[in-house]
Amino acid sequence: MNTRGSAAIVGVAAMLTATVVLAGAVAAAGSSLHMPPTNSCGVTGAGVSSPDAVALSVQLRGPRIQLTHEAGPKVNLSTVRMMILINGTPLQFQPPIPYFAARGFRSGPFGPFNSASDGMWEPGETASLEIAQTNTPHPVVGATLSVEFRQRACVIGSVSADVQPS
């Protein structure tokens, strides 16, 4: 019996198994991260190109929104507009990031959303804010909350999740 060719077969089988397992891990991680599809802003001449897109993750506990900048370039928050929607409806009051006190939000956001920060949001950095009872619609358990960041009318990052109990 000749066993010289069996090592190659075992090696190929091991590589295929590793590829399938790795693909599954990437697919599972992709459900918690969201990178906007090809950012068309570079094509439309709006001045923002695809490299400006950022990947975000979100954790929701009642009215508290915790966002993490997962990948992409650092973001100068004074140049972006943040839009929060509940079940597709924009909040009556949107946060003017960075801020300390803003209508419709509890004072003292955390991280780069706070006006005492340097205003730069870097990969790996987490920021959070809390929607006040005076803002509508108010996030209720099970509602879908979406957050979108725009720079010069171009979406550079977005993420959605269902509101969890606080």
One-letter amino acid at 17 equals T
- The pLDDT of residue 62 is 85
Label residue 59 exposed, middle or buried (CB < 10 Å: 0-12, 13-18, 19+): middle
- The pLDDT of residue 19 is 60
Domain locations in the chain as residue ranges: 1-31, 41-162
Q: Are strands 64-71 and 89-90 parallel, antiparallel or unpaired?
A: unpaired
Query: Which residues lie across from 164 on neighbouring strands?
Result: 61
* Alpha carbon distance 157, 144 (integer Å): 17
Q: To 5 degrees, how large is the angle CA 57–CA 32–CA 47?
A: 50
Report the predicted TM-score, pTM, of the whole model to 2 decimal places. Answer: 0.71
Could you read off the pLDDT tens digit of each residue along the chain, which spans 166 residues? Answer: 565 656 666 666 666 665 655 555 444 444 444 444 444 564 333 333 456 789 999 999 889 999 999 999 999 999 999 999 999 999 999 999 999 999 999 999 999 999 999 999 999 999 999 999 999 999 999 999 999 999 888 899 999 999 988 7
Q: Tokens for 130?
A: 């809390």
Residue with tokens 């975000």: 56
Tell me 112's DSSP state: G
Instruction: For the domain made up of 41-162, give the CATH fold.
Output: Immunoglobulin-like (2.60.40)
- The pLDDT of residue 10 is 67
- The pLDDT of residue 51 is 62
